[in-house]
């Protein structure tokens, strides 16, 4: 359902979000560094608090339903963005990006993600306005993605980044140098202008952003069809992602059950989309073009409850398992070196 928030409110909100993003970009550009845990925690808390406050403002301006849609969408998109960090960590390690410049890489990745998602949001909103049967495809795609997410990766694949066709082609086409030149994309070697490995890193991050947008955009349209709320949830989910990368660091490996929690969320949203498509069916070859009255319309409060409970269970279970593994590791006896036989 689309909720018409005041146009003035939407314009002011978008302007404030863009200014905040530009300010963050300028800070990174002027002072590239590795943020401390304290600095990262402060910024992550700021952005999370900002999203919570903004939801209250949406409540005051538009009512309970759009505010609930914002919170549900933000939580889901934020969890998917955290999942995105797993891939970012692998890419940074795979291409040996200098730690001092990882902030800039992440910021470029976030901007690229916003551009791709904005394009997908506009296209998705226009298509859904004309072709409501697309909910069948969106729902089936999310259910398929949920199943793939729930299938555990092989141990040798977990820390491996597979270069896609675009990156492989660029490696052959572009004149590349093997060393970085700070965060620059070009460098000069013996009078010859060459690209640095940073261009390949940006291509890897950008292509990854496209893949994640393909998951997140259908999922958010399963919660709300208001393009503004869809964009706002994506923007708030990406804000602070750079600092979250440094805050979590190695802790990402401990969130072992997060993929299963995300699988449950995506599966639920996929089923919700299919049920909504059945309820509002317009395909002539299905039930004569009539909707199925038995198909329920899942309320937003239930969606919010499922998302919160799934993420909470997945996070708590991951922390419990990590603590248990740490205790087992600490209790394991240290192997003593074999003593030499001196009797011979």
Q: What is the pLDDT of residue 51?
A: 93
Say whether 302 sits in a helix, a strand or coil. helix
User: Mean pLDDT across the stretch 161-181?
Assistant: 72
Q: How far apart are CA 194 and CA 173, in angstroms?
A: 12
Q: What is the pLDDT of residue 342?
A: 43
Q: What is the pLDDT of residue 344?
A: 44
What mean pLDDT is reported for the chain?
79
pTM summary value = 0.76
The residue ranking higher by pLDDT, 72 or 38, is: 72
For every residue of 199-268, DSSP letters joined together read: HHHHHHHHHHHHHHHHHHHHHHHTT---HHHHHHHHHHHHTTHHHHHHHHGGGGGG-TTHHHHHHHHHHH
Residue 166 has pLDDT above 90, yes or no: no
- pLDDT tens digit sequence for 319-341: 888 888 878 877 777 555 554 45
Q: What percent of the chain has pLDDT over 90?
A: 8
Q: What is the pLDDT of residue 39?
A: 81
The residue ranking higher by pLDDT, 232 or 254, is: 232
Residue 155 has pLDDT above 70, yes or no: no
The residue ranking higher by pLDDT, 215 or 76, is: 76
């Amino acid at each position: 359902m689309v909720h018409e928030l005041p146009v003035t409110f939407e314009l002011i909100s978008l302007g404030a979000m863009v200014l905040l993003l530009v300010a963050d970009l300028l800070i990174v550009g002027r002072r590239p560094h590795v943020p401390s845990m304290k600095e990262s925690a402060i910024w992550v808390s700021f952005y999370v608090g900002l999203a919570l406050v903004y939801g209250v403002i949406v409540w005051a301006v538009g009512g309970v339903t759009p505010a609930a849609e914002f919170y549900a969408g933000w939580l889901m998109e934020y969890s998917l963005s955290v999942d995105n960090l797993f891939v970012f960590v692998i890419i940074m390690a795979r291409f040996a990006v200098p730690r001092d410049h990882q902030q800039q890489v992440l910021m470029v990745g976030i901007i690229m993600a916003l551009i791709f998602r904005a394009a997908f949001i506009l296209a998705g909103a226009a298509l859904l306005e004309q072709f409501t049967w697309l909910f069948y495809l969106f729902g089936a795609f999310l259910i398929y993605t949920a199943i793939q997410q729930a299938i555990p990766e092989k141990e040798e694949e977990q820390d491996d980044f597979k270069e896609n066709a675009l990156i492989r082609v660029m490696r052959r086409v572009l004149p590349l140098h093997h060393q970085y030149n700070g965060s620059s994309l070009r460098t000069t070697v013996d009078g010859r202008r060459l690209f640095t490995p940073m261009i390949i890193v940006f291509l890897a991050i950008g292509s990854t952003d496209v893949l994640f947008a393909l998951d997140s955009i259908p999922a958010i349209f399963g919660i709300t069809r208001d393009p503004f709320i869809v964009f706002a949830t994506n923007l708030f989910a990406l804000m602070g992602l750079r600092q979250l990368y440094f805050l979590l660091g190695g802790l990402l490996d401990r969130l072992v059950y997060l993929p299963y929690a995300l699988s449950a969320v995506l599966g639920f949203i996929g089923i919700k989309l299919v049920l909504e498509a059945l309820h509002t069916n317009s395909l002539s070859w299905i039930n004569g073009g009539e909707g199925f009255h038995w198909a329920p319309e899942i309320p937003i409060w239930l969606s919010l409850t499922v998302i919160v409970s799934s993420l909470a269970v997945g996070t708590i279970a991951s922390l419990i398992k990590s603590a248990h593994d740490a205790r087992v590791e600490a209790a394991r006896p240290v192997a003593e070196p074999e003593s030499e036989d001196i009797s011979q």
